[in-house]
Amino acid sequence: MFLDRVKISIKAGNGGKGSTSFLRTAQTANGGPDGGDGGKGGDVIFKATNDLNTLYSFRFKKKFVAENGEDGHQKNQTGKSGKDEIILVPTGTVLINPKTDKIIADLNEDGAVFVALKGGVGGHGNAYYKSSIKQAPTFSQLGETTSPKEVILELKTIADVGLVGFPNVGKSTLLSVISNANPKIANYPFTTIYPNLGVCEVLGETFVVADIPGLIEGASEGTGLGHYFLKHVERVRLIVHLIDISESEGRSAVEDYKIINDELGKYNKELLKTKQIVVFSKCDLLDEEELKKKIDNFTKTLKISDYVCISSYTREGVETLKKKILENLKKIPKKKALAVEEFDFDKKDFSSIEITRHDDGSFEVSGGRIENLARGVVISDQMSFAYFQNKLKEMGVIDMLKEKGLKEGDTVVIKDISFEYIE
Ligand SMILES: Nc1nc2c(ncn2[C@@H]2O[C@H](COP(=O)(O)OP(=O)(O)OP(=O)(O)O)[C@@H](O)[C@H]2O)c(=O)[nH]1
Ligand SMILES: [Mg+2]
């Protein structure tokens, strides 16, 4: 089975807990605070490799979790950072945010990396909170926790040339003749069910050709799995459009050409801007006179004068086609990576603090930085709580609350913390 779209779950590592500890040695019975910070959680990183060519491995493993950061230690030792989770994907893999259906990364080159999720930061140890007025803080901070996210991986084949056309027109046969690829060939439609790639060499230069599974009318709406195949055409720089000029299947060459282009355009208008080489295949099936008649009809009806006539059986026209492809490719720049949207899975808003007044009269404070600050506050520890309240004052949160009508004795809720406000 060829797998080119799969949804997986990823999670960065949590930050480690800060340590609360005091130095104790033979010389110092009551030394200062020496609780180290927690370590950072591991990141989730995607890396493209040419060693893979399908997303098959994701059929069985769908959950990827980076290691958590270690807790802080005494003697001011920071906990060890969690190991990153590096996920290898075939070159050409595109990452999609399932919530917006937008592309968030395009790993279009071998070795390309994308950090999808950052590990949680470690909590501060009590040594961090030491100040001139607070010599012996008895609290430390929890590490930042992360949550799992879903991401879609989609493989959009990277090839210079795409062989496009109706089923059975001879695409795979041509690929086998011009490249090192060995695709399945048979006299029935949809022999090819996933794109085969082959490297073609001509005049000392090489290019990559993809044999796109046969397209039919309605492909852009999904008929014959067309939707799956068409996405592989999106990346190619040049389309080689094969038309069975012998009309051996009873269809008309002119109609075939129109239908395929129609489907390409319906799928993505941009595809119509991709340069096409028109190739008449199976020309060995016609005698010279018949061939000329059919070609004349085609070129006159569609006003097309540039084409190559080939037979993969007799090899007629094949060398000419290879050279023509190379000639064209030289004039077409490499495709750029696809446009991506800002990745906002874990976007933190440090500026906006929001205050909501609930029906029961309580005030809820939310917003990235506040929630981070509230992390690990020990309500029962006076020192920890006083530190927290002080920070709220410093950040102007208390003033904001007062503006919204906060009075002595009102309840304030910040994440899991709920306390009564006292002047
Ligand atoms: N006479 C003749 N037959 C050909 C030629 N090229 C391919 N064929 C035959 O046409 C049939 C289909 O060839 P394929 O290469 O499998 O066609 P395809 O376009 O890849 O078909 P799908 O994968 O089904 O889309 C096979 O029986 C081939 O042997 C040719 O140049 N001349
Ligand atoms: Mg085929």
Query: Is the pLDDT at 137 greater than 70, yes or no?
Result: yes
Instruction: State the closest ligand 1 atom to the C-alpha of 189, by its place in the atom list counted from 1.
Output: 24
CB atoms within 10 A of CB 104: 19
Q: What is the pLDDT, as a whole number, of residue 349? A: 47
Question: Which pLDDT tens digit goes with each residue over 361-414?
Answer: 999 988 766 777 777 777 677 777 887 888 888 888 888 899 999 998 899 988
- Which amino acid, 235? R
Give CATH 3.40.50.300 domain extents, the chain.
Answer: 161-331
Instruction: Summarize the confidence of residues 204-229 as an average pLDDT.
Output: 78
Amino acid, single-letter form, for residue 389 = Q
CA–centroid distance, 156 to ligand 1, in Å, is 25
Look at 127-141, 180-194, 246-260, 340-354 and tell me which has the smallest mean pLDDT: 340-354
Tell how strand 196-202 and strand 63-65 pair up. unpaired
Ligand 1 atom showing the smallest separation from residue 314 Cα: 31
Average pLDDT over residues 148-156: 91
Contact 258, 231 (CB under 8 A): no
Check residue 1 and give its pLDDT: 44
- CATH tag for 354-420 (out of 3.30.300.350, 3.10.20.30, 1.10.287.70, 3.40.1830.10): 3.30.300.350
CA-167 nearest atom, ligand 1:
25
C-alpha 214, offset from chain centre: 27
pLDDT in tens, 251-298: 999 999 999 999 999 998 989 999 999 999 999 999 999 999 999 999
Question: What does the alpha-carbon distance between residue 378 and residue 277 come to, in Å, rounded to a whole number?
Answer: 71
Class level of CATH domain 161-331: alpha beta
The answer on pLDDT for 347 being more than 70 is no
Token pair for 285: 């099936």
* CA nearest ligand 1 atom 13, residue: 170
Strand, coil or helix: 200 = strand
**pLDDT per residue as tens digits for the range 405-415:** 999 889 998 88
Residue span(s) of the chain under CATH 3.30.300.350 come to 354-420
Predicted TM-score (pTM) of this structure:
0.68
pLDDT at 140: 85
Residue 185 Cα to ligand 1 midpoint, Å, equals 6
The string of pLDDT tens digits covering residues 10-52 is: 999 999 999 888 887 766 666 788 999 999 999 999 999 988 8
CATH fold of the domain at 5-155 = Spo0b-associated Gtp-binding Protein; Chain: A, (2.70.210)
Query: Where along the chain do the CATH 2.70.210.12 domains lie?
Result: 5-155
Laid out side by side, the sheet with 417-420 consists of 354-357, 363-366, 411-414, 417-420
What pLDDT sits at residue 3? 65
Checking if the pLDDT of 218 tops 90, the result is: no
- Give the E-state strand segments of 291-397 in sequence order: 308-309, 354-357, 363-366
Average pLDDT over the chain reads 87
